[in-house]
Amino acid sequence: NAGVTQTPKFQVLKTGQSMTLQCAQDMNHNSMYWYRQDPGMGLRLIYYSASEGTTDKGEVPNGYNVSRLNKREFSLRLESAAPSQTSVYFCASSDMGSMSNEQFFGPGTRLTVL
Amino acid sequence: RKEVEQDPGPFNVPEGATVAFNCTYSNSASQSFFWYRQDCRKEPKLLMSVYSSGNEDGRFTAQLNRASQYISLLIRDSKLSDSATYLCVVNPYNFNKFYFGSGTKLNVKP
């Protein structure tokens, strides 16, 4: 039982390059989330998916797109990376609607945009 | 106004001390409450959920005060390994978003 996995762990991009961050969970959770965390700041929600086939914007969606490929996988895409997107990205999942709806996090992707 | 507010600290305490953190939330419809622990450059991990009647897990006690809209975390007999950032998280009822505080940093010194 791996929980939530993310790839890659580290990435360096040049301004304007694109990339996709991958996330998968094996807990059969219905909801999945993408956050970014910047130094000295809390986690900010980028996008979330309440269930397979649905996605919604969070607090800071500009510059990002997401795909809920199936119940297990939720990817985050940067179409044209900017230095302001340098951050640590965390994927999370939860079993919303259950008695235990806490979030479980992946290990994060550390992204630097030059 | 932020949804969730925490004192960023740092709280510097000696081993064996008792330390308490508070966190206030703005949405009175919030129904689920959590404390997470985050070590430097790692992912947040659930420390404990917070129940209406309060709950305890070993040296950790969490309390909820709905009237004043705050939750608290008490750590007794602090260990060096308790040094981390503690995140307060709230989830409004039937709402598929979680709101995170910026975290309170705890340093436990020998």
Q: What is the band of A29 on the pLDDT scale with cuts at 50, 70, 90?
A: very high
pLDDT at A96 over 90: no
- Report the pLDDT value the prediction gives residue B96, as an integer from 0 to 100: 76
Q: CA B87 to CA B93: how far, in whole Å?
A: 19
Mark yes or no for CB contact A33/B98 under 8 Å. yes
Contact list in B for residue A90 (CB cut-off 8 A) is 43-44
Amino acid present at A98: S
**Residue B93 pLDDT greater than 70, yes or no:** no
Contact between residue B104 and residue B11 where contact means Cβ atoms under 8 Å apart: yes
Identify the closest residue of chain B to A56 by CA–CA distance.
Answer: B96
Contact B100 A43 (CB under 8 A): yes
Q: Does A101 touch chain B (CB under 8 A)?
A: yes
pLDDT band at A57 (very low <50, low <70, confident <90, very high): very high
Q: Is the dihedral of CA B83, B87, B88, B94 positive or negative?
A: negative
How far is Cα of residue B31 from the mean position of the Cα atoms in its chain? 15
Residue of B nearest to A49 (CA): B96
Residues A47 and A97 sit within 8 Å (Cβ to Cβ): no
Cβ-contact A65, A77 below 8 angstroms: yes
Q: How far is A74 from chain B (nearest CA, A)?
A: 16
The per-residue pLDDT for B65 is 93
Hey, are the CB atoms on B34 and A108 less than 8 Å from each other?
Answer: no
- pLDDT for B10-69, tens place per residue? 999 999 999 999 999 998 887 889 999 999 989 999 999 998 888 999 999 999 999 999
Structure confidence at residue A41 (pLDDT) = 77
Q: Is the pLDDT of residue B94 over 70?
A: no
Look at residue A36 and tell me whether its pLDDT is greater than 70. Answer: yes
Range A15-34 average pLDDT: 96
Confidence of residue A99 (pLDDT cuts 50, 70, 90): low
Judge: B44–A105 Cβ closer than 8 Å, yes or no: yes
Contact status of B23 with chain A (Cβ, < 8 Å): no
Question: Is the pLDDT score of A97 beyond 80?
Answer: no
Q: What is the mean pLDDT of chain A?
A: 93
Question: What is the band of A112 on the pLDDT scale with cuts at 50, 70, 90?
Answer: very high
